[in-house]
Each structure stands twice: as C-alpha cells, then as structure tokens.
Copies of this chain bind each other. A is one copy, B any other.
C-alpha cells in the first residue's frame, strides 16, 4: 500500500472507522468449518461476531494498535471462539494459496488510495481463496446527487487525483486523516472481473457514514473462478 498517501498504519486504533454493518447476506456464504479471512479487520467489528457464530476467522490489518484492541475485545466478548489477528499488508499476504473459503472486506477498499493497489489486493485475495471461494465486500458508492459529496469530489480532486475520492479529516483535530475512494458500479465490478472473480451477488445500498451522511453503497459477492474442490 502507498504508505506516503495513506498512513493507515499510523491512525489511532480507536479512530479506525467502521460504520458499515455486516450484511446478513454473508451468512449465506459461510458454513460450518469454513475458514474466513477478514481483510482490513480494524478493531474486529466484523471478525468478532463472525467468530462468535463458530466460524474460524482470521483478521488482518496494517494497523497494529487496532489489532491490539481487536484482540483484547475478542478475548472479553467471545472466549470460546477467538479470531486470529495477524499484522499484515493486504497487497502481500502471509498465507499460502487457497487458504480460505471466504474473504470479507467491510469498507476496506475505500481506504486504498490507488487503483493499482486495489487491483493487487483483489488479486492477492483471489490467490489466498480456494477455487470457488467467495469474496464478500461492502463499500461506498459515488454519491453525486448529494451536494456535500459532489463538492468534496470536485474540491479534493487536485489532491486525490481520482474522480470520486475525498480527503477524510480527523474529527477531533481537523487534520487530514486519509483519502477515501467512493466507487462507481462499473469500477467495482471490473475490479473483481479483472482480478479472478465472477459476480455472484450484487445489491445497491444506502449507508450512513461515520459522520452521519447518507451515501450510496454496494454489497457484492465475488466467486473465485474455478471449480470448487
């Protein structure tokens, strides 16, 4: 990941945003004994409930403080089934090919500020999934009808250099926290299609951001091309 542009590893762990709720559609792709990888797990908002359902969950994140919070929360909330938290970079994961049945990305790709890194991450996710494995992802869509977002897309373009991206500020200090990208349907669909997946499920959504704005979004499931073994 481009750490110069997205200093995600330097954000305070408690400030990692996690506003999208896990959509129940994911449970249609999880089955007893399946191995789940939560990519960009942050403080464990998705990993912990998935693990408490009895699934074998591994959460990775580049932010070590968030992982410490995730680890201590999981020990107090679901001692019977604790996710494994791993400090790792999603562009180069420390897992052999075909290690997981299901990967999930909850508003994760939005935080990756270049197309190249997003493609690398989706390809890498494909690699660590078994053939026929699934990638569930929920993320933000470009919301041009909203004056607030429209102005930010246009205003921030000289810095972000990408249509539909905005600068996200620290709500306390007002300083630049990271760049967030909002997707078009076409962009997200081809990001999957060009990196090893078919589209298995797609739904347009309306989400709420951490600052309380309504925003377009997508819930999507990609299927790794190849027969399930």
Count residues of chain A with CB under 8 A from any CB of chain B.
18
Contact yes or no, A189 B144, CB < 8 A: yes
Q: Is the CB of A185 within 8 A of B143?
A: yes
CA distance A186 to B146 in the complex (A): 10
B contact residues around A220 at 8 Å (CB): 145
Residues of chain B lying within 8 A (CB to CB) of residue A190: 144
Residues of B within 8 A of A204 (CB): 204, 206, 216
Residue ID in chain B nearest A199 by CB atoms: B145
Who on chain B is nearest to A218 by CB? Answer: B145
- Contact pattern, A 203-229, Cβ under 8 Å of B = 1, otherwise 0: 010100000000010001000000000
Copies per assembly = 2
* Interface assignment of A64: CB less than 8 Å from any CB of chain B: no
- List of B residues within 8 angstroms of A186 by Cβ: 142, 144, 184
Q: Is A178 an interface residue (CB 8 A)?
A: no
Q: Which of A183-207 contact B (CB under 8 A)?
A: 184-186, 189-190, 199, 202, 204, 206
Interface: A147 (CB within 8 A): yes
Task: Fill in one digit per residue for A53-66: 1 if any B CB lies within 8 Å of its CB, else 0.
Answer: 00000000000000
A150 lies within 8 A of chain B by Cβ = yes
Query: When each residue 147-181 of chain A gets 1 if its CB lies under 8 Å from chain B and 0 otherwise, what string results?
Result: 10010000000000000000000000000000000
Rounded to whole Å, the gap between the CB of A31 and the closest CB of chain B is: 24
The answer to whether A185 touches B147, judged by C-beta atoms less than 8 angstroms apart, is no
Q: Which of B145, B146, B199 contacts A147 (CB 8 A)?
A: B199
Known pairs A185-B216, A204-B206, A204-B216; list 11 more (Cβ under 8 Å). A143-B185, A144-B186, A144-B189, A144-B190, A145-B185, A145-B189, A145-B199, A145-B220, A146-B202, A150-B189, A184-B186
Q: Pull 6 A–B residue pairs with CB atoms less than 8 Å apart, ordered by A.
A: A142-B186, A144-B189, A145-B185, A145-B202, A146-B202, A204-B204
